[in-house]
Amino acid sequence: MLKEFKDFALKGNVVDLALGVIIGAAFGKIIDSLVKDIIMPIIGMFGDADFSNYFIRLSKAVTATNLADAQKQGAVLAWGSFVTVVVNFIIIAFVLFLIVKAINKMEKEAPPAPAAAAPPPPRSEVLLEQIRDALAKR
């Protein structure tokens, strides 16, 4: 039983992993809102466009001008949504890169632990060194 516990403990902390997943999901929602509600409208302002409504009709039955109605009418290629997701991914990847870079920098800046003093050699070794030194003097 103890061996199984040690093997489990070596694989990592499950609670830490669960917290990481939950925080990652929440972080993803924050970034999704940032991209959808702030970044893409600013980009769309320069082109007078809303990327979320850009699509290509794949069926002649599609006559709608917005994506939600067009998807109800038939097959569409929603490339504007894809662009939004790609921008979302780039922002998440960049932020994670900055986080990892900061963690690595903090690990490098941590002062090294002072080296522990070496224990004195056993008495038998000290005596053998003294005998060696005495023989070398002869």
96, two tokens: 């994670």
CA distance 37 to 52: 11
∠111-114-115 over CA atoms, to 5°? 135
Report pTM. 0.53
Q: Is residue 16's pLDDT more than 70?
A: yes
pLDDT tens for each residue of 70-97 = 888 988 888 888 887 887 788 878 888 8
CA distance 88 to 25: 13
Domain 2-112 has CATH 1.10.1200.120: yes
- Angle at which helix 14-34 crosses helix 79-109, to 10 degrees, equals 130
pLDDT band at residue 132 using 50, 70 and 90 as cut-offs: very high
